[in-house]
Amino acid sequence: MRALSSAIAALLFAAPPAMSQSKWLESGRLERWEVSELCGRTGDVRSLARAQMTTTGPERWRQLSRQQLTVEAFVLGTPPMDPGRCYIVARAGLGEDTERRLFEVRDFIVNAESTSVFVVGRNFALPLKSGEPTR
């Protein structure tokens, strides 16, 4: 974990000026209302979080996410998920061969222009359509 924190700090200091003026916010240290506000303003997923999304989960997910990874939404958790956390709904794959997963947002990057997901945590399988079983 310490190595990840050092790598993140190095990325921030070596980043372009817009990113270096950003604030790195750990969702676990924020109040529920702050997480809700950030989740509602989030517009993209940074490279580190996207890389985490393509390298976690079962083998089938990893294969499909290398073909194509689409972020569908940023949502607050509803039971049984933690209602104080923000989640990313993502779809991997092409055409009919797709899977969906839910990723917990651990860290945000915020600056005057944007709010982005920087680090993701746990992930969960989601059904493709309402009522369709999870693969």
> How far apart are alpha carbons 42 and 109 in whole angstroms?
9
pLDDT digits (tens, 9 = 90+) for 25-55: 999 999 999 999 999 999 999 999 999 999 9
Annotated domain spans of the chain: 25-126
Residues 64-105 have pLDDT tens digits of 999 999 999 999 999 889 999 999 999 999 998 999 999 999
Query: What is the residue whose two structure tokens read 């990874």?
Result: 69
pLDDT at 24 over 70: yes
What pTM was estimated for this model as a whole?
A: 0.79
- Can you give the pLDDT at residue 80? 87
pLDDT at 21: 87
pLDDT at 14: 47
Segment 58-65 long-range contacts (CB within 8 Å, at least 24 positions apart): 60/99, 60/135, 61/92, 61/99, 61/101, 64/92, 64/93, 64/94, 64/97, 64/98, 64/99, 65/90, 65/92, 65/93
